[in-house]
Amino acid sequence: MKSVLRVFWRGLLVILCGVFLGVFIFAGYQLYNTFYGYHAAQKEYDNLNQQFVSAPATAEPTPTPTVEVPEETPEETPAVVAGPISVDFNSLLAQNSQVVGWIYSPNTVISYPVLKGGDNDYYLHHTLNGAENASGSIFMDAVCEPDLSGDNTILYGHHMNNGSMFASLANYKQEGYLEEHPVLYYYTPTQNYQLQIFTSFVTGGDSDVYAFNFATRDQFQEYINRMYSRSNFATGVEVSSSDHIMTLSTCSYEYDDARYVVLCKIVPM
């Protein structure tokens, strides 16, 4: 009887060791995949910056000088401000025709191409080069107009644990961060823009913040007022229904399906 029990317990111990070993191997495999995915995505986006962005990330825009002109002299058209970086869209579009822009935030990791697919699923899991990767891409909502002509243009990006993609947007929960990073920049093949932040807050995945076009200017103004009222703090940026805005959206973790959104006034440069 004792020998039977001994065999039983030995057998159970072998099974348990096998189960624990299997769990350990699976966890290690998952961890490897995660870090390999981070590395692969980071390498691709670093290469894209090296290939298509021509100015250092620390560069600041050069202000356009203002010159007083006598009243009788016709006013000249002001020079276009290039912005802190320059993007080679001709080469970038040759690599992927679904590129619609490039978003850049000085002195942060945000310097990414913006993609627009036929739905809001593909670029959640794929990079610009078509590689399947958990980091995905920064992408524009499929319903929005790539020329930013809609009332509200929406961009999505993952909140990655390594701080990449749109993870740093969560820093806008702190007022001091806003003072250091009051604007982002958005580039397209035909125009450069400043994104002046006017409100940011935590909201749900089904929030009315994701409305993109409005039937009347009054409805749009009501929407803007609601967004102002949810802000973590005042930014001093004034927005009216005659403006166009951009919503930057990423995951947040205050509750299930939470999102953190940063809303910006789009200002042509």
Report the first-to-last Cα separation within the chain, whole angstroms. Answer: 87
Q: How far apart are CA 208 and CA 255, in angstroms?
A: 17
The answer to whether residue 68 sits within a structural domain is no
Q: What pLDDT score does 233 carry?
A: 85
Q: What is the mean pLDDT of each run of 10 residues along the chain (269 residues)?
A: 61 56 42 56 91 66 39 41 86 97 96 97 96 96 97 97 95 92 96 96 96 97 97 91 98 95 97
Q: What pLDDT score does 12 carry?
A: 56
pTM over 0.95: no
Q: What pLDDT score does 17 carry?
A: 54
Q: What pLDDT score does 18 carry?
A: 52
- The neighbouring-strand residues paired with 99 are 115
Q: What pLDDT score does 232 carry?
A: 80
Tell me which residue range forms the domain holding 145. Answer: 32-55+82-268
The answer to whether residue 92 sits within a structural domain is yes
Q: What pLDDT score does 33 carry?
A: 46
Q: What pLDDT score does 198 carry?
A: 96
Q: How far apart are CA 130 and CA 132, in angstroms?
A: 6
- Residue 107 sits in a domain whose CATH number is 2.40.260.10
DSSP E strands in 29-180: the ranges are 99-104, 111-115, 138-140, 152-156
Q: Which residue carries 């191409």 as its tokens?
A: 113
Task: Count how many domains the chain has.
Answer: 1
